[in-house]
Structure 1
């Protein structure tokens, strides 16, 4: 039975029994605490927890899921996959245990002719929570299961909760017995691969509090409305119904595995390690395909990093199979063809998906070539210098590979392990933390975390917040709720920072790339400054405010007031984003598709799919087209219509965005710019004013970013540049049209002068060599020069001085030269050794590293020449003394 057929039977079965068939949500989860949709019930959590009113009493879905917490197990077990599909049926206070168990047993054991899955009841076992006698009685009544095939297990496996106060309840799981060939007898309690879990039924019936651990919490009451949440693993059922040994061999996955075998010339089933690698490839290609179809792009952060890791592990596995060239152009089409019947978007979007994947592979192959060479050298060096049982690769080496070459730490760990090495992970993590701290040192944000989502449930139950800001800037309304320090409160007083929930609001909440409105909320006796506006849960708008004066209470009448100047600038910027996007596509073609944006009053940035820098001429053309659209005063028309209708009209949707059945479509100049967008916009294009495209940069191997100033900010930037040009024409005594040549001449003269100065300084340096030679001392058989040379312009000068002294000492003598200098306010030390000194045990890299530690920094290098640096110039004498002491030792 094909995977798509199992999926169809599931949806038909529950659809025929009154369940609303809900399409799969995106792999990109709405839950801010999750990177991905990790389980079939995730999209339904707001309904199951009562946070959002349920739109239907019962539902069913086949949900796309991604989990990478067990990524190391992929390929090694029959059931671990990073992408999987979870069939679910849900009841929101409608039916409970008896119906849920009855549905599960009927669908599993009914004949294929009757629309069932035709499992033999004799092969099925169930587990229940050890105290759930009700479930046991129902399994005996409905399924006729004997006692020996119903096993009681504890809270660690058969009790569900979110880890937070809220709904919870016992679970009952259904297992398929694969037979004695796959393991020991004894049922699911043996935790053996012989027994495969195929269905989990969660009976959500209690309210819990004081959650101390997975198994330690307080049950405070029964829920007034008991819920059902079930999940059947589609891939697990597929491999059982298709008679294969694991999920990697089912019809939706096996084609990629076979292609990997073909490309490598190795036979699947011949060598265990090769089999694992082929399964990893098959799993990761499919997961990557599905992630990119939902708008995720490779990057170094968050979801993009997970995707990048999957892609790079695929490349690495192919290399371990002996294939060193690009393989994605062969692998990804296989996965597309296997998945397109269930998810047509992987075919319609394949041009975009394949561009991302192929470019990522090309980039990583170059990374591998550079990084592997360095890592191989480090492995050899580590082994040679190690005295422990397990050699340990230095953390700074792993960090260099990551920071300079883009070599992911997990790949370094894998390669090190293959070579019998550990990695100093704590040192690596420390260096990464320091880097993040530096990156964030200057970053300031007015965003503050919203309250725990559970606090919004009562407010959301009163209905959706009505947004009026498309039509008016001021809206009379009522205060529905106040949150102070994450807790619902009756009022907030002057000086408080609080969240305010209104029945209606004209203030735009940050979304779709547009920043939140600036403004106020006022009423009789209070004045609130709006600091931020967000949508913490679907359908609810929360205003983060500071109470400037007075006291505001729940139930008070209020008016939301948008700052008109800010809103005007925000609408200009958002419409400018659409104009730039249309201009990009006109110049570069339809593949230059938006991949993210941000706009606020006076400024916009737009990321788009493209893999090379734009020439100045192309940038100028895009800017001119956008400004011509402003000049032409194109009409801006917004309409609300059905999603399918908007798409049939050619409306562009942003990959990764989520759209409801009814959408808002924004036209600028008719079909020239037609996008789905919930932001605020100008009435006609001329109101944008002016666009000044100020930069175009890379934000990844397949994405570029343009930034523009808009409206008055754009004019001010042009005025500033005009003032600079006027100043230069005056200072250089040259007309504007000759400025470029005049500046070019000055730069050329400056470089020539700098070259002459450098030659003079090098000549001066050589005169210092005799004096340094006179400081030479003898330590055992070594001749040692260890001196500070004061301030120098560069480490190149210091290196030149060190090597000159070493040459004068003679290559046949056992000599060590260690010189330190103040280079632009930072200490630097360089150590050089002769061959005879190295034969006596003197290693420049070790000496420089020890000196750098004294200087408050890091260092190292080869045995013959190495350098270090730091932050404490005053520690130079101690650093040199440390080198001398090390040589004496």
Structure 2
């Protein structure tokens, strides 16, 4: 049974039984505590917690998920996949345990010919929470399971909660017995390799408080509405139904594995390590394809970093299979063909996703080349120094800065006859992970408890009137201060205000929040920010300017007209620039992000090279021609499918409901789905001044523009500068570029002469310094403070030149100087001094310690510095003392 068929049967089964079929949410979740959608129930969390009223009593979905915590285990086991699909059926206060168990058993055991999954009853086992006698009795009555195939397990296995106060409850898991060839008899409590979990039924029936750990928490009482959350692992069921050994061999994954085998000339199943590498490639290619289809682009942070890591692990695995040439074109196409039946958007977005993948592969192959050069130098230096172990610092630098995998460093070092200080590398990695966890924890701790909004959201959605009105009378539904509901706030306090209706735009879709005020009888509130903390609810962060405001009082939201108009100009200009980009560069130039506020806009788009000056000018001219043409701006509310058929662009990372707002500028000239505020005609934009274009990733560019009066002011400032230059240089405007180029050329020539003079002057000091050498201990030593120098490079050249003069002796040169006020010391030794046991590194380090800093280096030359320039005499004296022993 193909995976797409399992998906179809699942949705049909529950759809026919009164469940609302909900399309998979994006892999990019709205939850600020998560990078990705990590489970099938994530999109439904607001309904389970009661923050947002459920729009339906029961639902079903096949949800795309990404988990990366076990990335190192991918390919080694049958169950670890980065991308996976979770089939779920959910009840929000509707059916409970009996319904969930009945549906699960029916779908699993109904014959394939009758629309079921066709599992044999004798192969299925279940586990339940140890105290859940009700579930045990239901399994016996509904499924007819004997006592020995129902096992009781504790909280660590069969109890679910979020890790935070809120809903929780026991769960029951369904397992498939793969047979004695896979492990010991005795059920899932004995061997969870032979007995494979395929479905988990969570019975949310309690309200938890004081959650201290997975197994340590307090139960506050029963939930007023008991919920069901289930999840069936698509990939696990697929490999069982397809008769293969693991998830990497199912129909959606195996084609990539086979392509890796074909490209490498190696046979899958012949060698364990190669098999693991092929499975890693198959998993990571599919995961990357799905992430990029949902709008994630490779980058150095957040989701983009995870994607980049997956792509680079593919390159690394192919290299270990003996493939050094680019391979993404073939691998990703194989994955596209395998996934498009279940997810047609993979086909629709493939031009863009393949371009991202190929660009990242090309970049990383260059990175590998440069990293190999650095590694080769480190290996050579280690050998010269007589060492047999590459430092952990070097391995970590290659990994952290260059994205150079540690296993590749180990391989290259081994080929050179060296090992790697793995313990030092692992310690540095642990420190980095600890910092990342601490950062993530601090960010999570800073998030508001969304439960404070649940009662307010239960009153209904906040009505936004700002498309039609700049003032709206309403009433105050709630006040929140420091995450807690309050009944009133006084002058000087900062609180959140929830209104029934508002004219103020909440930040979304790349558009900044409105500025304005909220006023009422006896109070005035300054609006600082407007956000949507939960779906359907608008929260206004305000400072109470005067009076006292209370819950239930009438209030009027007032938009700052000038700011709103400027923001609308900027948002409409974003649409104009996007259309101009696509006209100029082609349909592949997709918007990947944007931000606009009054007078300013920026737009990120998928493109892998810098725009020429001529292209930038063309884009700017097209946008301003659209302004001149006074194109009509029309907004329409219509079904999503209808908007897409009309050619409206849906932007990556945005979430859309069944009904959408479509914004046309000049009809189809620019047609996008957008909830932002806009001008009435393009002429109202005024002026678009494209001020910059830059890179924001290997396959993404950014343009920034000023709009309206801000654009005019910027151009006026440039005009003033040009006028000043023409006056100062007594040169007509059209001749300014040549005149300035001539002046720059003259300046460079003068700087070159000055540098030559300074170098000559500097070299003139070398004989004098060499003659000043005096015996200190067993060596001749030149120990001098040179005062102020222009650069540390000058100091190094002097030290090197003086050492050359004393090369025939056992000599040490220690010179100090102040460079831009900061003290530096450089120490060099001759071969004779090193033979006598004198090394530059310890001398420089000791001097740097006196300066309040650090230093070190090689035996022949080392450098140190610090912050206390007044300590230079003492630092040089420390060198002298060290030589005296």
**Which TM-score band (shorter chain)?**
over 0.9
* 1:131 paired to 2:114: no
CA distance in 2, matches of 1:785, 1:191: 74
Q: C-alpha distance in 1, partners of 2:409/2:475?
A: 57
Q: Is contact 2:25-2:63 (8 Å) kept?
A: yes
8 A contact 1:653–1:676 mirrored in 2:
yes
Query: In the alignment, is residue 705 of structure 1 matched against residue 702 of structure 2?
Result: yes
Distance 2:69 2:410 in 1: 16
1:564 aligned partner:
561
Q: In the alignment, which residue of structure 1 is the partner of 2:316?
A: 316
Aligned to 1:398: 396
- Confirm or deny: 8 A CA contact 2:316 2:405 kept in the other structure: no
Matched with 2:545 is 548
The equivalences for 1:705-744 within 5 A come to 705-744=702-741
Aligned residues of 2:184 and 2:191 also touching (Cα < 8 A): no
2:796 maps to 799
1:49 aligns with 2:46: no
Distance 1:362 1:733 in 2: 50
Say which SS state the counterpart of residue 760 (structure 2) adopts: helix
- Give the distance between the partners of 1:129 and 1:460, measured in 2 at CA: 34
After superposition, the C-alpha distances for 1:658-714 in whole angstroms (9 at most, x for unaligned) are 111111111111111111111000111111111111111111111111111111111
Cα distance 1:157–1:144, how it changes in 2: closer, same or farther (>3 A)? same
RMSD: 2.8
1:761 pairs with one of 758, 762, 770: 758
Determine if contact 2:391/2:420 at 8 Å carries over to the other structure. Answer: no
Alignment map for 1:707-856 (pairs within 5 Å): 707-778=704-775, 782-810=779-807, 812-838=808-834, 844=840, 848=844, 855=851
Distance 1:733 1:290, change over 3 A: same
Cα pair 2:392 2:422 within 8 Å, conserved? no
1:422 aligned partner: 423
Task: Give the whole-Å Cα distance in 1 for the aligned partners of 2:882 and 2:72.
Answer: 43
Aligned-partner Cα distance in 2 for 1:883–1:238:
72
For residues 63-101 of structure 1, the C-alpha deviation after alignment (integer angstroms, 9 at most, x for no partner) is 000000111111111110000000001111111111111
Provide Cα deviations, 1:783-837, integer angstroms capped at 9, x if missing partner.
Answer: 4434332211122212211211121112x54444333322222333334344454
Deviation at 1:4, TM superposition (A): 1.3
Deviation of 1:433 after TM superposition, in Å, equals: 11
Higher mean alpha-carbon deviation, 344-353 vs 123-132, is at 123-132
User: What is the DSSP-based 3-state SS (H/G/I as helix, E as strand, rest coil) of the residue aligned with 2:113?
Assistant: coil
* Aligned residues of 1:130 and 1:152 also touching (Cα < 8 A): yes
Q: Report what 1:298 is aligned to.
A: 298
Partner of 2:335: 335
Moved more, 69-78 or 370-379: 370-379
Residues 1:873 and 2:865 are matched in the alignment: no
Is the 8 Å Cα contact of residues 328 and 357 (structure 1) preserved in structure 2? Answer: yes
Distance 2:202 2:626 in 1: 57
- Write out per-residue CA displacement over residues 436-458 of structure 1, whole angstroms, 9 at most, x where no aligned residue: 99xxxxxxx9xx96631111111
SS in 1 for 2:196: strand
Change (3 A) 1:52 1:516: same
Please state how far the C-alpha of 1:738 moved relative to its aligned partner.
1.7
Is contact 2:627-2:686 (8 Å) kept? yes
Call closer, same or farther: CA 1:431–1:91 in 2, change over 3 Å: closer
Q: 1:171 to 1:436 in 2, by over 3 A?
A: closer
Alignment partners' CA distance in 2, 1:137 and 1:384: 74
User: Cα deviation per residue 1:139-182 (whole Å; 9 max; x = unaligned)?
Assistant: 12222222222221111111111112111100111111222222
| Counterparts in 2 of 1:171 and 1:846: CA distance versus 1, 3 Å | farther
What TM-score do the two structures reach when normalised by structure 1? 0.93
Q: Secondary structure at the match of 2:656?
A: coil
Residue 858 of structure 1: CA displacement? 5.6
User: Which residue is 1:626 aligned to?
Assistant: 623
Partner of 1:646: 643
In the alignment, does 2:74 pair up with 1:74? Answer: yes
1:613 and 1:698 in contact (8 A); partners too: yes
In the TM superposition, residue 749 of structure 1 has moved relative to its aligned partner by 1.2
Q: Counterparts in 2 of 1:25-424, with a 5 A limit?
A: 25-378=25-378, 393-395=391-393, 398-399=396-397, 402-403=400-401, 405=402, 407=404, 419=420, 421-424=422-425
Structure 1 contact 501–541 (Cα < 8 Å) conserved: yes
What is the DSSP-based 3-state SS (H/G/I as helix, E as strand, rest coil) of the residue aligned with 2:452?
helix
Most deviating of 761-770 and 412-421 = 412-421
User: 1:512-527 residue pairs with structure 2 within 5 A?
Assistant: 512-527=509-524
How much has 1:224 moved relative to structure 2?
1.8
Q: How many residues align?
A: 876
Q: Does 1:637 align with 2:634?
A: yes
Contact 2:392 2:420 in 1 (8 A): no
User: 1:393/1:632 Cα in 2 relative to 1: closer, same or farther (>3 Å)?
Assistant: same
Cα deviation, 1:487-511, whole Å, max 9, x if unaligned, reads 1111111111111110000000000
Q: Pick which of 870-879 and 667-676 moved more.
A: 870-879
Moved more, 105-114 or 94-103: 105-114
Residues in 1 aligned to 2:516 and 2:244: alpha-carbon distance in whole angstroms: 62
- Compared CA separation, residues 740 and 581, structure 1 to 2 (3 A): same
User: d(CA) in 2 for partners of 1:700 and 1:68?
Assistant: 22
Match of residue 440 from structure 1 = none
C-alpha distance after superposition, 1:715-774 (max 9, x if no partner): 111111111111111211212122212211211111111111111111111122233224
Contact kept? 1:789, 1:819, Cα under 8 Å? yes
Contact 2:89 2:231 in 1 (8 A): yes
Aligned partners of 1:841, 1:701: CA distance in 2, in Å? Answer: 50
**Partner Cα distance (1:754, 1:408) in 2:** 44
Aligned residues of 1:396 and 1:428 also touching (Cα < 8 A):
no
Pairing 1:591–2:592 present: no
Question: Do structure 1's residue 679 and structure 2's residue 676 form an aligned pair?
Answer: yes
Structure 1 residue 843: Cα displacement: 5.2
Partners of 2:245 and 2:655 in 1: how far apart?
37
Write the distance in 1 (CA, Å) between the matches of 2:195 and 2:377. 46
The residue aligned with 1:441 is none
- Structure 1 unmatched runs, 5+: 438-444
Instruction: Specify whether residues 346 and 369 from structure 1 end up closer, same or farther in structure 2 by C-alpha distance, changes over 3 A only.
Output: same
Decide whether aligned partners of structure 1 residues 882 and 235 sit closer, same or farther in structure 2, where only a CA change above 3 A counts.
farther
Name the CA distance, whole Å, in 2 between partners of 1:786 and 1:7: 79
Work out whether residues 451 and 487 of structure 1, in 8 Å CA contact, stay in contact via their aligned partners in 2: no
Distance 1:507 1:665, change over 3 A: same
Residues 390, 421 of structure 2: 8 Å contact kept: no
TM-score in terms of structure 2 length: 0.94
Change (3 A) 1:843 1:381: farther
Instruction: Tell me how far apart the structure 2 counterparts of residues 856 and 431 of structure 1 sit (CA, whole Å).
Output: 26
1:488 matched to 2:485? The reply is yes
Deviation at 1:536, TM superposition (A): 0.7
Judged with a 3 Å threshold, the aligned counterparts in structure 2 of structure 1 residues 885 and 262 are, in CA distance, closer, same or farther, namely farther
Query: Aligned equivalents of 2:856 and 2:323: distance in 1?
Result: 35
Q: Deviations over 1:315-372 (max 9, x none)?
A: 1111122211211011100000100000011111100000000000111111111123
